Amino acid sequence: MAQKRITIAIDGHSSCGKSTMAKALAKRIGYAYIDTGAMYRAVTLYCLDNGMIDGDKVNKQRLRRHMPKIEITFKVDDEGKSNTWLNGRNVEKDIRGMEVSSKVSLIAAIGFVRRAMVEQQQAMGRNKGIVMDGRDIGTVVFPDAEFKVFVTASAQVRAERRFKELQSKGDTTTTFDEVLANVVERDRIDSTRKESPLRQADDALLLDNSNLTIDEQNEWLYNEFLKKVK
């Protein structure tokens, strides 16, 4: 008998390893993986490229007019890695830098941006068999998802992971203190914004992975998935 296909929603704080575990699970069980954070990062990059962000101010009127022009897709490369494409350009590397990281929460807090992204995300997951991670998947995008997880870790641990990731990609200018400040500020904005604030869904399992290895968290997630599809 074929295993039933479900919707898996993974939410949590920035830099807590959501995407890493979501990708690993999707690959293991043959589901599609959707990185919603990358979608907001792509919109942020578009705004930066088109001069719509000045400090912590976003030109919302201009952005609203441009929203129909922003096309975000995901394509798998020859190595099996999912890349984010913005208007026909591979922007996977561009959206992971500190310039985008320091502004993405501003863009993600804008109501009309979130509504546009949620609409796209719901369309992507209409046929189930997906793993989607973000901030509001289990609360707003797929409140009826059969399997919900909320991931967290201490700000210090998350900043250390993010700092190492940036260093591994050749970033030698960003300091650890800058990364930690960014993590703390993003937590504040994500949790207090008016539109779809970050919170744990009532029926989501909580995973604090501060002291877990990647392999340990992946096994935990896979075992919990198996319980849901029995």
pLDDT at 196: 87
CA gap 32, 23 in Å, rounded: 9
Decide if pLDDT at 82 tops 90. no
Decide if pLDDT at 1 tops 50. no
Print burial letters for 69-91: b (CB count within 10 Å at least 16), e (below 16).
ebebebeeeeeeebbbbbeeeeb
- Average pLDDT of 91-100? 94
pLDDT at 195: 84
CA gap 190, 200 in Å, rounded: 12
* pTM, 2 dp: 0.84
pLDDT at 16: 92
What order do you get walking across the sheet with 32-35 strand by strand? 32-35, 130-134, 7-12, 147-152, 205-208
Q: Within a 10 A sphere around the Cβ of 216, how many other Cβ atoms?
A: 11
Name, in order, each residue with C-beta under 8 angstroms of 197's C-beta and a sequence gap of 6 or more. Answer: 136, 190, 191
pLDDT at 112: 96
CA gap 11, 13 in Å, rounded: 7
CA gap 94, 16 in Å, rounded: 20
Closest CA to 44 of 118, 121, 114: 114
Decide if pLDDT at 49 tops 70. yes
Query: What does CATH list as the number for 7-225?
Result: 3.40.50.300
Cα four-point dihedral sign 60, 65, 68, 72: negative
- Least confident piece of the model among 70-79, 81-90, 166-175, 210-219: 70-79
Greater confidence (14 vs 207) lies with: 207
Closest CA to 158 of 198, 211, 194: 211
